[in-house]
Structure 1
Amino acid sequence: MGEDAVGGPLPDDRVLLARLRAGDDLAYGDLYRRHAPAVRRFALSMPQPGIDVDDVVAEVFLRTLRAVRTGHGPRDAIRTYLSTVVRRLLWEWAAARRDELMNADELGEHAPRQRDHQSVQAEGELLARAFHRLPVRWREVLWWTEVEGHRPASLAGQLGLTPNATAVLAHRARRGLREAYQQAAELPVVGCLRHA
């Protein structure tokens, strides 16, 4: 079980997942800190040329967050769930890369980068903070389109919008997440270190 910032025992995964499902953002950070190293090791064990393992870890946790927040995802065996998401994500990204043609300049841009554990952890926390700053409707449409893989047209009726309006909403939500992430990244470092 591990200890939290004040030295007390951390709750087990089942409790953290229930808290996350109920909207507790701190539970996400606890789950990330607990499982990100294992997710990273697992992703490194299945190397894919041109795919950055840190991007894989961030995307795996974002997809898991989206699944849990919409009532899906793991309820207790989070490590197994995370491993499954890693496999699926690597397969999707490798398939997408096979369809892309790259020139020599792009090859240099996509070379794997090594980052330390603290920067990976900080990036995950920034992403979670940025996601939770978005309006609820944006978070929902991002979850359904990016995590669950729904097309905007299939969500239109559920959202009470036309298919075009749903696509525009999804586009704005993605742009909003990028901006929120950039804003979160520009905050002073002191403000980002909750558990220091």
Structure 2
Amino acid sequence: MGADQVASDDVVLLGRLRDGDDAAFGELYRRHSPMVRRFALSMQRPGIDVDDVVAEVFLRVLRAVRSGRGPRDAVRTYLFTVVRRVLAEWVAARRDELMNSDELGEHVPRQGDHQVTQAERELLARAFSRLPARWREVLWRTEVEGHRPASIAQQLGLTPNATAVLAHRARRGLREAYHQASEVPVGRARRCLRRV
């Protein structure tokens, strides 16, 4: 199949998708996800899962097309642009993190300091409880029980891509909630400094 035929078929699939045909989205995904994955791998950034990037890219394309925007033709070019945008956004978001989990582990006391361990657990539990129920569910299933997003998608009533995106957002939300829970309010910090 030549490049012109692929492009022509993509235009037909996009038209069907705009008309609400979910099977057309599945076909676009099957056609282009291997290429999107290879492209994302070629631009890979440390700490960013390529499968999460692919899922996010196709989710954004689906939303764009369903809302009347998105590509009309040149699907591959559009997908590459979305890959670049997703990676840029996620890299920028990671810059805002104080430390990654490996760095955090280096600063936690190696000895079993029960009070420190208990405080960390309480912070994590508080952060987890602040998340929306859907995020808590997907985090529990993926991070605690060890399921891959694709294996629990049907139980959650989502596509495998949407489940991967949900899991990624839930992890990011937990990280943000944990940082917020661990911050000492300014007034309290000043009172502590006065005592020292």
TM-score (norm 2): 0.51
- Output the CA distance in 1 between the equivalents of 2:52 and 2:103: 17
Unaligned residue ranges in structure 1 (runs of 5+): 3-8, 109-170
Residue-by-residue CA offset, 1:62-83 (whole Å, 9 max, x unaligned): 0000000000000111100000
Deviation for aligned residue 1:104 = 3.3
C-alpha change, 1:107 and 1:56, in structure 2 (3 Å) is farther
Q: How does 1:61-140 map to 2 (within 5 A)?
A: 61-104=58-101
- Output the CA distance in 2 between the equivalents of 1:184 and 1:106: 32
RMSD of the alignment, in Å? 3.6
Which of 19, 22, 32 is matched with 2:19 structurally?
22
Deviation for aligned residue 1:61 = 0.0
C-alpha change, 1:75 and 1:103, in structure 2 (3 Å) is closer
TM-score (norm 1): 0.51
Residue-by-residue CA offset, 1:4-34 (whole Å, 9 max, x unaligned): xxxxx9x700000000000000000000000
Q: Which has the larger radius of gyration?
A: 2
* Residue in 1 that maps onto 2:155: 186
* Residue in 2 that maps onto 1:159: none
Moved over 6 A (4+): none
Deviation for aligned residue 1:185 = 3.2
Deviation for aligned residue 1:101 = 1.7
- Aligned pair count reads 118
Sequence identity (%): 73
Q: How does 1:151-190 map to 2 (within 5 A)?
A: 184-186=153-155
Residue-by-residue CA offset, 1:25-61 (whole Å, 9 max, x unaligned): 0000000000000000000001101000000000000
C-alpha change, 1:107 and 1:43, in structure 2 (3 Å) is farther
Residue-by-residue CA offset, 1:169-189 (whole Å, 9 max, x unaligned): xx98x87xx7xx8974338xx
- Output the CA distance in 2 between the equivalents of 1:82 and 1:91: 14
C-alpha change, 1:66 and 1:31, in structure 2 (3 Å) is same
